[in-house]
Amino acid sequence: MIPNVRKAYNQQFTDDRYQAFLEGIAQDAGIAPDFRVAETPVFVPADLTSKLIQACEEIVNVILRPDFKSITEDAIPADLKVPHENDHPHFIVIDFAVCQNETGDAYSPRLIELQGFPTMYAFQDVMARQFKNHFAIPEQLSNFFNGIDEKTYYQLLREMIVGNLPAEEVVLLEIKPEEQKTRIDFASTEKYIGIRTVCLTQLIQEGKKLFYMRDGVKTPIQRIFNRIIFDDLQKQSGHLEPHVNLFQDLDVEWITHPNWFYRISKYTMPFIHSEFVPKSWFLHELPVVPADLENYVLKPLFSFAGQGVVIDVTQQDIDNIKDPENWILQRKVTYAPAIQTPTGPAICEIRMMYIWPDSSPRPILIHNLSRISKGKMIGVGFNNTDTWVGGSCCFFEFA
Distant-in-sequence, close-in-space partners of 50: CB < 8 Å, separation ≥ 6: 399
The verdict on residue 235 lying in a domain is: yes
The verdict on residue 327 lying in a domain is: no
Residue-wise pLDDT tens digits, 336-374:
999 999 999 999 999 999 999 999 999 999 999 999 999
The average confidence (pLDDT) of the chain is: 94
Segment 256-266 shows an average pLDDT of: 95
**Amino acid in position 343:** T
CA proximity to 180, closest of 345, 35, 296: 35
Give the H or E element holding residue 92.
strand 91-100
CA proximity to 40, closest of 139, 130, 109: 130
The answer, yes or no, to whether residue 171 has pLDDT greater than 90, is yes
Judged by DSSP in three states, 338 sits in: coil
The answer, yes or no, to whether residue 378 has pLDDT greater than 90, is no
CB 52 within 8 A of CB 352: yes
Query: What's 106's DSSP letter?
Result: S
Number of domains into which the chain is organized: 1
CB 18 within 8 A of CB 38: no
pTM of this structure: 0.94
The answer, yes or no, to whether residue 87 has pLDDT greater than 70, is yes
CB 254 within 8 A of CB 86: yes
User: Per-residue confidence at 130, pLDDT binned at 50, 70, 90?
Assistant: very high
CB 174 within 8 A of CB 236: no
- Which domain covers residue 363, as residue numbers? 3-278+333-396
Q: Please report, rounded to a whole number, the percentage of residues in the chain having pLDDT higher than 70.
A: 96
The verdict on residue 348 lying in a domain is: yes
The verdict on residue 19 lying in a domain is: yes
The verdict on residue 105 lying in a domain is: yes
The verdict on residue 323 lying in a domain is: no
Query: What's 247's DSSP letter?
Result: T
Q: Please report, rounded to a whole number, the percentage of residues in the chain having pLDDT higher than 90.
A: 87
The verdict on residue 362 lying in a domain is: yes
DSSP characters over 95-137: EEEEEE-TTSSSEEEEEEEEESS--SHHHHHHHHHHHHHHS--
Residues 197 and 176: their CA atoms lie apart, in Å, by 10
CB 16 within 8 A of CB 370: no
The verdict on residue 302 lying in a domain is: no
Residues 224 and 171: their CA atoms lie apart, in Å, by 5
Segment 288-295 shows an average pLDDT of: 93
Segment 369-388 shows an average pLDDT of: 76
Residues 53 and 111: their CA atoms lie apart, in Å, by 12
